[in-house]
Amino acid sequence: MSDQQSVVGVEQDPLKELYADWSEILGTAENLTIRLFRSIFDEWHQPTAEPTDVTYAEGTVGGVPGIWCYPEGADSSKVLLYTHGGGFAVGSASSHRKLAGHFAKALGVTSFVLDYRRAPEHPHPAGLEDAVSVFEALVESGIAPEDVTTIGDSAGGNLAVAAALSLKEQGKPLPGAVIALSPWLDMENKGETLVTNDATDALITVGLLEGMIAGVLGDRTSPSAPLANPLYGDYTGFPRLYITAGGAESLLDNATRLNDLATDAGVDVTLSVVDGQQHVFPFNAGHTAAADDQIAAIAKWFAG
């Protein structure tokens, strides 16, 4: 089942402003080390308002460090396993804790944001292995598999999908649902919106993606390996799936192609494309109606 939506967003966009600033830095900086690259992307939290009535605690689950998000009155028997974006190389639990907190609060559950191992020091499948380890540890702790939802943005959206594919491939219990926010899935850079949306995307470029692909895949993983590139995955028996993306972003067709694959496999999938919005636009939570409305729509879907 597929339910495609389209919403018009025309308001001020703090995330787009941040991306434009990053793009200028990336386009002019010389000898940008991975440490400095990561420090830039740790600003990702800036467009996100601090969610009210949410507390945080550092923790370790399945040997993987991260940050717990605890909304007041949340159902502690249900967990969002949140994998952050950043091309598998940048971003962190800290850069994404506020966004994860908004989702946890809206959905009425807790969330654990992973600080999974990042490329290039730890190429594929390190991040995926960490996501699966956290899922299995949550289940071992007494959380029902169906009460765990894998959720992530960009490269983290890839991991949220790939974790379920990996568990399915191993014949293990699956999460109850998967939420992919502007997922980056295509390790071959074949998407047509890389060209058609190049002028409207404030951050993503082919060159940026090529560098991150080289870092995460190295020379030992094929760009068509299904657990690295979920566009080659088998979605038969896949969990309920929600996909969202911005209409202005260059990775838009990663979302639409995933929707088509899941739909063809009989998955209960919802696709929401929000016109005029940037990559991972829910980062504007608390500051734009487009972000807040999308989080509310996901909460309604989750409860349904």
Active site residues: 154, 249, 279
> Could you tell me the sign of the dihedral formed by the alpha carbons of 81, 87, 89, 91, in that order?
negative
Vertex 26 angle, CA 9 and 216, to 5°: 90
Gap between the Cα atoms of 96 and 274, Å rounded:
21
**Taking the mean position of all CA atoms in its chain, how far away is CA 116?**
13
Under 8 Å between Cβ of 113 and 85:
no
Gap between the Cα atoms of 186 and 146, Å rounded:
28
Cα distances from 120 to residues 38, 49, 117, 217, in angstroms, run: 12, 31, 9, 9
Exposure string of 122-132, with b = 16+ CB inside 10 Å and e = fewer, is bbbbbbbbbbb
Size of the chain, expressed as the number of residues it contains = 304
Residue 178's nearest CA partner among 277, 270, 72 is 270
Gap between the Cα atoms of 38 and 183, Å rounded:
20
Gap between the Cα atoms of 110 and 145, Å rounded:
15
